[in-house]
């Protein structure tokens, strides 16, 4: 789970690519192991060859490991779908490069509003700026943002 207050979609696209590569490597290793098992079964001619292969398969890839891989890859697909881009890391990165690459966590949005006000020079330490209701300011600012869910956290981005 991500604990970052601000995420960059371009970095997430890179992580997605890495997850895909890891899944492909694991799949290749699985195929190699299965080929080895088939050779053993054919050479050794066990009494129940299908049972031998099934037993070996169960030891190589657990359903839990498959589920974890699907969940990890699925969270990126879900994010891409929510943003409205194609289901691949290149599309997510392209979208981020053309629009807004930043996701701001909902729990951090009030602090983000303060930082944004400082960045644009709309804030001073003098009255009345020192008495701003930042919670209300953040809620008003969120109206210009769209929310997405990613890895169990609500994030906002400007579309």
Q: Tens digit of pLDDT for each residue in 86-97?
A: 888 999 899 899
The verdict on residue 144 lying in a domain is yes
The verdict on residue 61 lying in a domain is yes
Q: Which residues contact 33 (CB under 8 A, 6 or more apart)?
A: 56, 60
Question: For 99-125, how does the pLDDT look when each residue is reduced to its tens digit (9 = 90+)?
Answer: 888 999 999 999 999 888 888 877 777
Q: Is it true that the peptide bond before 128 is cis, omega within 30 degrees of 0?
A: yes
The verdict on residue 1 lying in a domain is no
- Stretch 6-31: mean pLDDT, rounded? 85
Beta sheet of 102-105, edge-to-edge order: 6-8, 102-105, 153-157, 146-150
* Cα–Cα distance for residue pair 23/66, rounded to 1 Å: 10
- Which domain range does residue 127 map to? 6-157
Number of domains in the chain: 1
3-state SS class at 159: coil
Given a contact cutoff of 8 angstroms between Cβ atoms, the answer to whether 148 and 135 are in contact is: no
The verdict on residue 11 lying in a domain is yes
The verdict on residue 137 lying in a domain is yes
The larger pLDDT score, comparing residue 78 to residue 41, is at: 78
Given a contact cutoff of 8 angstroms between Cβ atoms, the answer to whether 55 and 41 are in contact is: no
pTM over 0.75: no
Q: Among residues of the chain, what percentage have pLDDT more than 90?
A: 30
């Amino acid at each position: 789970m991500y604990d970052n207050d601000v995420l960059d979609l371009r970095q997430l696209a890179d992580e997605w690519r890495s997850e895909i590569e890891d899944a492909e490597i694991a799949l290749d290793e699985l195929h190699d192991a299965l080929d080895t098992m088939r050779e053993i079964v054919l050479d050794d001619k066990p009494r129940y060859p299908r049972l031998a292969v099934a037993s070996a398969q169960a030891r190589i890839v657990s359903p839990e490991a498959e589920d974890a891989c699907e969940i990890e890859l699925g969270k990126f697909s879900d994010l891409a779908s929510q943003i409205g881009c194609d289901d691949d890391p290149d599309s997510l990165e392209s979208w981020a490069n053309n629009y807004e690459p930043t996701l701001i966590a909902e729990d951090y949005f009030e602090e983000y509003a303060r930082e944004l006000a400082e960045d644009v020079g709309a804030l001073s330490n003098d009255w009345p700026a020192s008495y701003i209701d930042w919670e209300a300011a953040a809620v008003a600012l969120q109206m210009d943002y769209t929310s997405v869910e990613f890895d169990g956290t609500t994030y906002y981005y400007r579309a």
